[in-house]
Amino acid sequence: MTTIVIYHNPECGTSRNTLALIRNSGVEPHVVEYLKTPPARALLIEMMGCAGLTPRQLLREKGTPYAELGLGDELLSDRALIDAMMEHPILINRPLVVTPLGVKLCRPSEAVLDILPDAQRGAFTKEDGEKVIDPSGRRVL
């Protein structure tokens, strides 16, 4: 059985679409609502490394205390940015998905298709009406 973990925010459309794409591959992932249960610091650092992301690349600006905390300062260290994410999990961009094929920040949501081990099982349309997968399970380009 394939184990997939999604660090999810149910209030985020991109996160909901990503979760739906995972389920469309026939897998029920382990869903971690990261605002309620943030990843431990070591796990966050490990996921960033596996995804090839720097702390700044994982940092979310919109709808967060990013500006108030002065996180746009390019002189801030990676440690300081990670400290901010640990104190304010809303600063962690989402959704982060972990599969046997890798770790990825899935923005846009269809980026998850690159790391899903199983094919899509049918058509999929995003919440905004954009068709992503055709009825045969193939990606719409």
State how far the alpha carbon of 138 is from the alpha carbons of 25, 104, 124, 128, 132, in Å: 11, 21, 10, 19, 8
| Start-end of H helices in the chain | 13-24, 41-51, 55-58, 78-87
Check if 12 is active-site: yes
Among candidate residues 4, 7, 8, 12, the one labeled active-site is: 12
| Helix (H), strand (E) at residue 8 | strand 5-8
CA-based nearest residue to 5, from 29, 38, 40, 33: 29
Instruction: Tell me the pairing of strands 96-99 and 5-8.
Output: antiparallel
Identify the three-state secondary structure at position 97: strand
Q: Looking at the annotation, which residues are catalytic?
A: 12
